Amino acid sequence: MKNCIHIPDDFAGFDPCGFCIPQPLASSIHRVLIPHGMIKDRIKKLADDIFKALVEEEVESVSLLCVLKGAYRFYADLQESLSAVNANESSKGHFHIIPEFIRLKSYENTSSQGEVKIMGIDDLEKIRGKTVVVVEDIIDTGRTMRKLLSTLESHQPKKVIVVCLLRKRTPLSDGYKPDFVGFEIPDRFVIGYAFDYNEYFRDLMPLCVISEKGIENFKE
């Protein structure tokens, strides 16, 4: 876990009035935690760091595994940045990127449900003997990632590297540390940039902290 950006517990965030937020969602947003442009900037550096690590290992191809649904936006931006470095003639290496997808579900309302469901694993045989980069949106307890990793290991990949956009500081963490992390954030429920609350807010661009009213408005 190198060079991760630490957002402190006492960081107040930004007033949402300064950002483009759809009017019907405005009362559901407490503060903007990370503006969209800053997420994009950070992803470029993550792509650089991942590229260097993969080139160092002399890999020829990489299975870039998107953990749906939450990681879809992060995955698209990371893949674009990774491909840009990969295509750059002055980069010291090149590898093929093979996109793969898997779907997990564990959240309802703002708490993790006991069970992690894994869907779309029928063709995980494709990762046998491959270097896999798992692209996840957020790690909090670490439970979901450990379950996913043990599922992946049963298909005997050559190596598994985990990158997540956010790591939440929570007392419920089992101590799991991914290889690459975008931002370490306080223990608050976030929405936007594909993070949802009961499937709402995924299309909001900045990463925001949900308000009490938002939790109430969109409760299942």
Task: Tell me: does residue 183 bind ligand HPA (CB under 6 A).
Answer: no
Binding to Mg ion in span 69-128, by CB under 5 A: 70
The nearer residue to Mg ion, 27 or 112, going by C-beta atoms, is 112
Q: Report the candidate in 136, 131, 130 with the shortest Cα–Cα distance to residue 75.
A: 136
> Please, where are the H alpha helices in the chain?
36-56, 72-87, 143-153, 212-217
Task: Tell me: does residue 193 bind ligand HPA (CB under 6 A).
Answer: no
Query: Taking CB within 5 to 8 Å according to partner kind, which of ligand HPA, Mg ion, none is near residue 214?
Result: none
Q: d(Cα 107, Cα 84) in Å, to the nearest integer?
A: 34
Query: Six-digit token pair at 81?
Result: 């940045």
Distance of CA 98 to the CA centre of its chain: 18
| Residue 10: active-site member | no
Site track for ligand HPA across 94-123, x = CB under 6 A: -------------x----------------
Where residue 100 falls (left for φ over 0; alpha for ψ -120 to 50; beta otherwise) is beta
Exactly one of 140, 174, 179, 187 is catalytic; name it.
Answer: 140
Q: With contacts defined by CB under 6 A, how many residues of the chain interact with ligand HPA? A: 7
Binding to Mg ion in span 124-183, by CB under 5 A: 137
Q: Which residues does the annotation mark as catalytic?
A: 140
The footprint of Mg ion (CB under 5 A) covers 70, 137
